[in-house]
Structure 1
Amino acid sequence: MRTTFLLLCGLIPLVFASFKSSKACLYAGSNIEFIQTQTKKAITTEDLNLAKYFAYKAINAIEKSRSQLADCGCEQATGLIDEGADNLKLATKATTITSSRILLKKALDYTIGGSEALEQHDSHNSRYSNDLLALNTTESIAEKKAIKKINTKELEKTIDKSLKRFKESMDQVVISVDCKEAYNYAKKVFTLCEKQLLLPNLSEGKKYYNLKTKEIAAQALRDIGDCDE
């Protein structure tokens, strides 16, 4: 019985680490979407200076995502994002829009690959794969981790409940408000959440709130579609 108890105590920190890793991957994935958006803007512009401006925004977002990528533990995604960053930096030094665009397209391919790697993270190795070798069997630490996990779940339930009304309001906007006005509103919410998620030292609650709000806004944008059709 004591051996079983010690093993269970050791598994609690492991489960919590996996939980934290999963959340970090979600936040990193959200930031990569912003990076891709800025890279696409850089690709489509005909102005070299404007292309460099958007490339710098993408680079800055990558740097702000470093800690989340590290917490996620997906080495595959981190490596691809690093390659994307290298191409973005080269694009800022290009002397023609054509050469800049070639590098930007490579950067976009790498960031798309990084995003896909994050989505498949659970199916390949992560830095937590060997955690069973270092199970913590200290009862007091296990209790603290268990309490923290419960509080995190309760916090997320509270946020989900508070966002239910916002989701209903957003659905009403999609149905009843002028197409372009509805699109602009949803886009404004989406963009604001993207910017918030890039802020350093954001609390777990604020991260989760902005991530879920961003998802609601993204769904609204899909529902609204093209206002010119």
Structure 2
Amino acid sequence: MEKSRISRRGMLKGAAAAVLALDGSVSAVSSAAAVEQLPLVQKTPVIGSKNVTGQKVEGSVAKVYFSPVIDAASLIKLYNLVNEEIYGKVAIKLHTGEPHGPNILPRDMVQALQKTIPNSTIVETNTLYGGGRENTADHRKTLEINGWSFCPVDIMDEHGDVNLPVRDGFHLKEVAMGKGIVDYDSMLVLTHFKGHAMGGFGGSMKNIAIGCASGQVGKRQVHGASMTGAPNFGAMPVKDT
């Protein structure tokens, strides 16, 4: 699990998120007894960490916690280990999925965690590709179908975009994010591992970056697509999953 933070002034002051990674093909022990018997927390060693940029960078090594148990109790325990900088109005960013899933996190786990976080809201943005989340009206229907109705859900680009700077950006100096992102003080990110057509695994960086970019502007910018859908630099698909 990692953590991140967003200021009301629209500057992203943190660089990661709180994460629970799930793989639907793995069967996890979920009894209360198992939670107590198995070691819940393990701090990963920093041996072998290497700066490959060739530049002197400021910052600290992230603390990563692992739980062999995937259930609501373990998720809450992990959150309590990393939440010292979670404050104020909290955005819970997750992938709410296309109608009927199946690639979504267990709703009961998310609901149990959300109940423990005061002033928290699930946040999403519309998609660039066609489907059940391409526009706000259809997105609201999909949220209801998939059971994301136990707390408020803010579709952050429902009322437009906000341009946020990209520090030392190569292709982009700023990206259009869902306008609602600046309404939150903190962000908690729940991410499931998944494959991606471009190779590799989608994770929390993607969940924050593409997941918070506005559907019709920011996502086109990040994918290198023009407003007509034509790629600007390379044969890059515009589909966002």
Which range, TM-score by smaller chain?
Answer: under 0.3
Higher normalized strand content (fraction of residues): 2
Give the TM-score of the pair, scaled to structure 1.
Answer: 0.27
Higher normalized helix content (fraction of residues): 1
Give the TM-score of the pair, scaled to structure 2.
Answer: 0.26
